[in-house]
């Protein structure tokens, strides 16, 4: 069938017309025949199965039961009456109940005659009851033999008000199948259909809208989910391949003096297997003549900074400059101090450029950058200013890239004729499925083991009633010379409330940990930046043993001596926040602890979050649980939640199909990058159609 036909405006479909078309467009985004075909049901009412009364479950599902009415009575209520029929089969009894139209129903019901009843069952006073069931005499029902599953489509209040009910949408769908004769162009190659035992496209579309059985429905769903994910992966992988082919990069073929000196004489500890593997992947990229575009994922404390430093040294060994950009001044400062320490005595110049750097200090930085005398620049957005010109920028490292906009990143690209190699680092573990979908056009490296000597943080959940024991534990830790964080939740809606919670907490802590024996720092959002820095500084220097804060989560403070993190009202934090907070301790050689304090009132979701934190330290496992709890949109934040505008697949539930789709898309494009082989023409044509009619979403990485 001509694919152009499916682009016909929906108003032309029999039964639609201009008014209905307008409502379908505004409410469901249905503009064309194609959009209607891709309106997939949310669920199905299964009329292929008959239950006995003994099999009924308290599941609130629609069920179909065969039995006889053996007794009818009218019961008086406070308001009006209800009609109740006792309905029986060989396994038990239930009630059929009517609140309206009782006279007509009573006159037409036949006693001791087999009926098929259909509806939702309620469990009340030890018996199932079905209000206002659909009813049909068994003899009539068997003549019609309409054995099928009824689709239930997405709906809105406005659609219902305008009379566009589920039944109407079902009718329109039938009309569409009549007009198209149910024939739709195949979009996958014979090889894919054969290898994955997939249902043909026409059959899949028919069975998704009018399934004859659960088995056929499952096959149709698998086929359509695979196709959707396959074409998204095709686009991402093709984008990556094109990038490598088109965008030439500097070739760093020397592993020179600086890299080797640092590796043999200045490495503070033995690299982990994961770090070695990642450095190897990066070295391969840098020597390949194509621009590197790699995402480096590693949990808090996994040693991403060492990898970044060694990558910078490779750039400098090959005669280029490097820069590292962080989203906040505190993080930029921390990177600067850490990297300067690591590179002491290696003979590399390194400077810091943030909004706070005075004008007089900026001038020499600008000059050294242009002359090539400055090897590494670390900074915030200040690095992007037009005044900042490099002699030859070969490598740009971006920390926590989701905090930077696309336009800002492209500014870095244009600091040179040839764009620098890009390494994006994140300590926010992204579930593998999400990474495949959102960053599928970047190459991904993962550091999935912690450096040796790091002891896993012990996490426990304690209720407010245990507070005295928890405070005694803190005294013992402080006696050993350790430091403690106590964090209160931040609720954006109410700064006054946050402040009150924090001050109440601070006062009770000050009572239990009196001066001069104990010193306490406090940091919150209403303080001046200079005061915040002063309090932080005191804690970092060890002048205070306890840091009470709301905003410490934003602060990448590295205090190896801090070994206890207490999170107050932990049920009010999300999983990734809890994991980031926990990562603030465990940075030294001592055993560290994270104590999650809550009240006894917990939702089931909060319980799942706390149990997950206590069970595992693995950021990726935590991210997977978080994805299941919150869904993809929430995890990526509002600016990216629209990226996963999927019609039928669900990247959480269909994780395995996504992996399969990516594998087959990758094999196909490796074997036939231009899709020119005769057996791939179907795929080439379908892909072109999707791009032409904007049915593939542009993922921005």
Per-residue pLDDT reduced to its tens digit, 26-58? 999 899 999 999 999 988 887 878 899 988 887
Given 146, 173, 197, which residue is the final one in a domain? 146
253: its two tokens: 């073929």
Clarify whether residues 474 and 597 are in a common domain. Answer: yes
CA-CA distance, 138 to 491, in Å (whole number)? 59
At 613 the pLDDT is: 95
Q: Beta strands of 418-561 (E only): which ranges?
A: 421-426, 443-447, 458-463, 483-487, 520-523, 546-549
Clarify whether residues 267 and 315 are in a common domain. Answer: yes
Given 89, 120, 146, which residue is the final one in a domain? 146
Clarify whether residues 464 and 374 are in a common domain. Answer: no
Clarify whether residues 368 and 469 are in a common domain. Answer: no
How sure is the predictor about 637, in pLDDT bands with cuts at 50, 70 and 90? very low
Question: Looking at the domain assignment, is residue 106 inside a domain?
Answer: yes
Mean pLDDT score, 669-679: 93
At 494 the pLDDT is: 59
Percent of the chain whose pLDDT exceeds 90 = 42
Question: Looking at the domain assignment, is residue 173 inside a domain?
Answer: no
Clarify whether residues 406 and 488 are in a common domain. Answer: no
Per-residue pLDDT reduced to its tens digit, 564-582? 999 999 998 888 889 888 9
Clarify whether residues 391 and 478 are in a common domain. Answer: no
**Count of alpha carbons within 13 Å of 523, Cβ hemisphere only?**
25
**Is there a contact between 307 and 275 (Cβ–Cβ < 8 Å)?**
yes
Question: Looking at the domain assignment, is residue 519 inside a domain?
Answer: yes
Question: Which residues lie below 8 Å from residue 521, measured CB to CB, with a gap of 6+?
Answer: 535, 536, 538, 539, 544, 546, 547, 548, 549
Clarify whether residues 386 and 479 are in a common domain. Answer: no
Say how many domains are in the chain. Answer: 3
CA-CA distance, 176 to 245, in Å (whole number)? 43
Q: What's the first-to-final CA gap in the chain, in angstroms?
A: 36
Per-residue pLDDT reduced to its tens digit, 325-354? 988 887 888 899 889 989 998 989 999 998
Q: Does the pLDDT of residue 588 top 80, yes or no? A: no
How sure is the predictor about 640, in pLDDT bands with cuts at 50, 70 and 90? very low
Q: Does the pLDDT of residue 460 top 90, yes or no? A: yes
Clarify whether residues 490 and 584 are in a common domain. Answer: yes
Per-residue pLDDT reduced to its tens digit, 481-490? 999 999 988 7
Clarify whether residues 468 and 421 are in a common domain. Answer: no
Q: Which of 183-192, 493-502, 510-519 has the lowest mean pLDDT?
A: 493-502
How sure is the predictor about 417, in pLDDT bands with cuts at 50, 70 and 90? confident
Q: Does the pLDDT of residue 636 top 50, yes or no? A: no
At 639 the pLDDT is: 36
At 489 the pLDDT is: 83
Question: Looking at the domain assignment, is residue 472 inside a domain?
Answer: yes
At 323 the pLDDT is: 95
Mean pLDDT score, 374-392: 90
Q: Does the pLDDT of residue 413 top 70, yes or no? A: no
CA-CA distance, 192 to 195, in Å (whole number)? 5
Q: Which of 200-214, 287-301, 435-449 has the lowest mean pLDDT?
A: 435-449
Q: Which domain holds residue 566?
A: 458-616
Q: Which of 313-327, 345-359, 468-482, 572-586 has the lowest mean pLDDT?
A: 572-586
Question: Looking at the domain assignment, is residue 229 inside a domain?
Answer: no
Question: Looking at the domain assignment, is residue 409 inside a domain?
Answer: yes
CATH number at residue 137: 2.40.50.140
Average pLDDT, the chain: 85
Clarify whether residues 486 and 405 are in a common domain. Answer: no
- Choose among 377, 299, 365: nearest CA to 580: 299
What are the angstrom distances between the C-alpha of 288 and each of 260, 316, 323? 21, 17, 21
- Residue-level length of the chain: 701
At 552 the pLDDT is: 53
Q: Does the pLDDT of residue 371 top 90, yes or no? A: yes
H/E segment holding residue 470: helix 467-479
Clarify whether residues 473 and 545 are in a common domain. Answer: yes
Given 146, 167, 184, which residue is the final one in a domain? 146
* Residue 21, helix vs strand vs coil: helix
Mean pLDDT score, 108-121: 91
Question: Looking at the domain assignment, is residue 561 inside a domain?
Answer: yes
Q: Beta strands of 311-375 (E only): which ranges?
A: 321-325, 350-353
CATH number at residue 276: 3.40.50.300
Question: Looking at the domain assignment, is residue 341 inside a domain?
Answer: yes
Mean pLDDT score, 476-495: 82
Clarify whether residues 498 and 571 are in a common domain. Answer: yes
CA-CA distance, 165 to 150, in Å (whole number)? 13
How sure is the predictor about 79, in pLDDT bands with cuts at 50, 70 and 90? confident
How sure is the predictor about 115, in pLDDT bands with cuts at 50, 70 and 90? very high
């Amino acid at each position: 069938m001509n694919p152009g036909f499916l682009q016909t405006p929906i108003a032309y479909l029999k039964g639609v017309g201009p008014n209905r078309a307008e409502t379908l467009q505004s409410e469901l985004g249905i503009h064309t025949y194609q959009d209607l075909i891709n309106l997939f049901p949310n669920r199905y009412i299964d009329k292929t199965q008959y239950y006995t009364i003994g099999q009924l479950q308290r599941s609130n599902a629609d069920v179909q039961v065969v039995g006889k009415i053996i007794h009818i009575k009218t019961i008086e209520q406070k308001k009006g009456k209800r009609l109740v029929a006792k309905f029986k089969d060989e396994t038990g009894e239930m009630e059929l109940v009517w609140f309206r139209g009782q006279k007509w129903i009573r006159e037409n019901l036949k006693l001791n005659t087999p009926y098929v009843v259909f509806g939702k069952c309620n469990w009340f006073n030890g018996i199932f009851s079905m209000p206002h069931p659909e009813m049909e005499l068994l003899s009539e029902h068997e003549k019609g033999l309409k054995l099928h599953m009824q689709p239930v489509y997405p709906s809105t209040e406005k659609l219902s008000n305008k009379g566009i009910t589920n039944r109407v949408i079902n009718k329109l769908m039938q009309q569409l199948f009549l007009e198209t004769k149910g024939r739709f162009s195949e979009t996958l190659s014979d090889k894919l259909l054969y290898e994955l035992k997939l249902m043909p496209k026409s059959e899949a579309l028919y069975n998704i809208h009018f399934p004859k059985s659960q088995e056929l429905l499952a096959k149709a769903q698998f086929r359509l989910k695979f196709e959707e994910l396959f074409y998204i992966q095709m686009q991402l992988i093709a984008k990556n391949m094109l990038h490598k082919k088109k965008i030439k990069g500097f070739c760093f073929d020397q592993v020179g003096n600086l890299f080797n000196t640092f590796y043999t004489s200045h490495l503070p500890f033995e690299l982990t297997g994961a770090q070695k593997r990642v450095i190897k992947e990066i070295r391969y990229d840098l020597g390949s003549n194509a621009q590197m575009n790699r995402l480096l994922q590693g949990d808090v404390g996994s040693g991403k900074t060492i990898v970044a430093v060694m990558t910078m040294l490779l750039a400098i060994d090959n005669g280029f400059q490097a820069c590292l950009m962080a989203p906040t001044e505190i993080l930029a400062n921390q990177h600067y101090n850490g990297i300067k320490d690591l590179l002491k005595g290696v003979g590399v110049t390194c400077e810091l450029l943030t909004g706070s750097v005075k004008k007089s200090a900026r001038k020499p930085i600008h000059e050294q950058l242009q002359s090539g005398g400055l090897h590494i620049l670390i900074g915030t957005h200040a690095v992007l200013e037009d005044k900042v010109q490099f002699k030859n920028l070969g490598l740009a490292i971006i920390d926590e890239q989701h905090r930077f906009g696309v336009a800002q990143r492209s500014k870095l690209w244009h600091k040179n004729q040839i764009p620098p190699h890009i390494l994006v680092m994140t300590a926010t573990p992204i579930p593998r499925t999400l990474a495949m979908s959102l960053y599928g056009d970047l190459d991904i490296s993962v550091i999935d083991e912690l450096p040796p000597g790091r002891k896993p943080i012990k996490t426990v959940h304690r209720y407010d009633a245990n507070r005295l024991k928890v405070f005694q534990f803190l005294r013992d830790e402080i006696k050993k010379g350790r430091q403690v964080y106590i964090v209160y939740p931040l609720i954006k809606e109410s700064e006054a409330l946050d402040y009150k919670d924090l001050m109440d907490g601070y006062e009770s802590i000050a009572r239990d940990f009196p001066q001069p024996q104990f010193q306490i720092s406090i940091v919150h959002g209403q303080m001046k930046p200079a005061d915040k820095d002063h309090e932080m500084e005191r804690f970092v220097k060890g002048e205070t043993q306890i840091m009470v804060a709301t905003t410490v989560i934003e602060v990448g403070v590295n205090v190896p001596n801090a070994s206890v993190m207490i999170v107050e009202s932990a049920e009010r934090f999300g999983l990734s926040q809890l994991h980031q907070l926990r990562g603030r301790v465990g940075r030294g050689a001592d055993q560290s602890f994270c104590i999650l304090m809550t009240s006894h009132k917990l939702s089931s979701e909060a319980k799942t979050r706390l149990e997950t934190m206590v069970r595992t330290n693995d950021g990726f496992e935590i991210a997977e649980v978080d994805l299941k709890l919150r869904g993809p949109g929430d995890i990526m934040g509002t600016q990216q939640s629209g990226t996963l505008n999927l019609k039928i697949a669900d990247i959480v539930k269909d994780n395995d199909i996504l992996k399969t789709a990516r594998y087959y898309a990758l094999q196909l494009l490796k074997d036939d990058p231009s899709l020119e082989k005769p057996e791939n023409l179907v795929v080439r044509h379908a892909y072109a159609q999707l791009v032409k009619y904007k049915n593939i979403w542009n993922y921005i990485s």
